[in-house]
Amino acid sequence: MVDGPARITPLWRSAALRTVGISGLLFLLSAAVVFLLLYRTVIGTVEDQLLRLAETQAHALARGVDPEEPAPPEGGWTVAHAPGRYRVVITSAGHVLLNELPLRERIIGPIIASPAELKSILVHEQQLDDSGIVGFGLTGPAGSYVFVGHKDDQVSEIRESMLRILGAGTATVIALYMIVGLFMGRRAFARIARMNAVAAAAMAGDLSRRMPVSAGNDEVDDLARQLNRMFAALERSVAALRQVSTDIAHDMRTPLTRLRQRLDELRAETSPAGRQALVQRASDEVDKALEIFAAMLRIAQIESGVARSQFASVDLSGLLRELCDIYEPVFRDSGRELRARIADGVQLAGDRALLQQLFANLLDNSIVHTPAGTVANLELKKLHPGWIARLQDTGPGIDRDSRNSVFDRFVRGDASRTTPGSGLGLALARAIAETHDLVLAIEDGTGFSIVVEPVDNASQP
């Protein structure tokens, strides 16, 4: 197990280097096979030519040495002697007239009856300076045996030069592959090392670093991009979590401090009625703290996107109509008015309960943060494509500066400091909107106007 900062892998264990090495070996192997075939063919051709030359000369010699006791050619046998050529003439009586072969004992002795046999012996056993003799022997019409052979100097020369080429080629290829391999290995190695460093930093708690993505756009870049997305998502969730902790610590202090005060007062209070009242107030403070806690957790849960897995098609038109039916009497009984204009057939993928809570929160807000006599209009319009929902009221609205901060946790417009609520309503609404890819925004105009629409709408020209 490797933990802590990334351990440096030795270069020779680098995957890139290994790949280059293996492909180099394969290349050498296939080059060797090709070379061997070529070598065989070239050598074979040369030997074949020598053999045919020997055959022609043997026939000519046989014609010259017949009949039975052939006389040496004019000038004697030695005249025709040429370096690298070996002649053998044996009469039918077994008398060796001429033997230019360097190792006589091989030829002398029992008469070699078959030219093929002699040839095989000569070619394969008469080794001279590492090279052999290629020759042809035949029995003439009068029974004399004639052989002409050639030293295969050419063959060994070719062999030598081809081996030299092979050696030099192999060395070059190996050197080339090593240079390329080292270069590539080092490059890949450096990339991986950079990625390792980012991962190590992430493990150590720094999620802000990103892996390098090269212009090459290869599979490693794909991986790096994917990991970068992962780090970004992680960074967001960690930041959200940190925010939640800070917010909880911050806002729980108020009800908990008050609770403590109530308990202190309770210690001093002697009348049963007074104690009863203080217990009730203490219990209210606890409820408030618990409510904040539950709302925070819920926001965190929604922001983490767990609900997405259970998304189904939701009839938004029906949902809003039902909410209007539920809220219309609440508006009326509180001295306000709710008017609705809901278009038919607006659907979206989502969680019904969460969407219900989103719009219920907006309606609740409209009641809680406006004076009596306010008229609120809830409108759902179909656009092509998309839709837009708008809740607008004739209340005092909100000043421009606090417009964006109302969506933050615990922030409430100055005017609403004294009104009830945890200050989490709009933060929750926005968390729900975001998990549904919806935009929640406050609009300009008289009163308070808030719109909900799909993110896609906003990107329309």
Enumerate binding residues for other proteins (CB under 8 A).
290-291, 294, 297-298, 301, 306-307, 309-310, 325-327, 329-330, 333-334, 351, 353-354, 356-357, 360-361, 363-365, 367-368, 420-421, 425
Q: How near is the Cβ of 284 to other proteins at its closest, in Å?
A: 12
Nearer to other proteins among residue 79 and residue 368 (C-beta) = 368
- Residue nearer to other proteins on the CB measure, 96 or 307: 307
CA distance 387 to 376: 20
Neighbours of 300 (CB within 10 A): 18
Which is nearer to other proteins, 85 or 298 (by Cβ)? 298
Report, in Å, the least distance between residue 317 CB and other proteins.
Answer: 16
In terms of CB distance, is 57 or 357 closer to other proteins? Answer: 357
CB of 364 to other proteins, least distance (A): 4
Q: Do strands 375-382 and 337-342 pair parallel, antiparallel, or not at all (unpaired)?
A: parallel
Residue (19 or 356) nearer to other proteins, CB: 356
Structure tokens at 404: 């964006």
* Bridge partners of residue 90, in order along the sequence: 96, 145
Q: Which residues make beta-bridge pairs with 88? A: 99, 147
**Nearest distance from C-beta of residue 361 to other proteins, angstroms:** 8
Cα(400)–Cα(398) distance, rounded to whole angstroms?
6
Q: Min. distance of Cβ 357 from other proteins in angstroms?
A: 5
- Residues with Cβ within 8 Å of 368's Cβ and at least 6 positions away in sequence, in order, are 416, 419, 420, 421
Residues contacting residue 334 through CB under 8 Å, at least 6 positions apart:
367, 372
**Distance, CA of 70 to CA of 148 (rounded, Å):** 16
- Asked whether the beta carbons of 351 and 311 are under 8 A apart, the reply is yes
The nearest distance, CB 306 to other proteins, in angstroms, is 6
Nearest approach, Cβ of 19 to other proteins (angstroms)? 46
Is the Cβ of residue 64 or residue 421 nearer to other proteins in the bound state? 421
Amino acid at 121: I
Nearer to other proteins, 42 or 307 (CB): 307
* Closest separation in Å from C-beta 257 to other proteins: 20
> Cβ closer to other proteins: 150 or 336?
336
36/294 with CB nearer other proteins: 294
Which token pair is 450? 């808030």
Structure tokens at 310: 């259970």
Helix-, strand-, coil-residue percentages of the chain, each rounded to 5: 60, 15, 25
Alpha helices in 93-218 (DSSP H): 104-107, 115-125, 153-203
Smallest gap, in angstroms, from Cβ of residue 454 to other proteins? Answer: 21
CA 104 to chain centre: 74
What's the CA gap between 129 and 107, in Å, rounded?
A: 19
Q: Find residue 392's DSSP bridge partners.
A: 377, 449
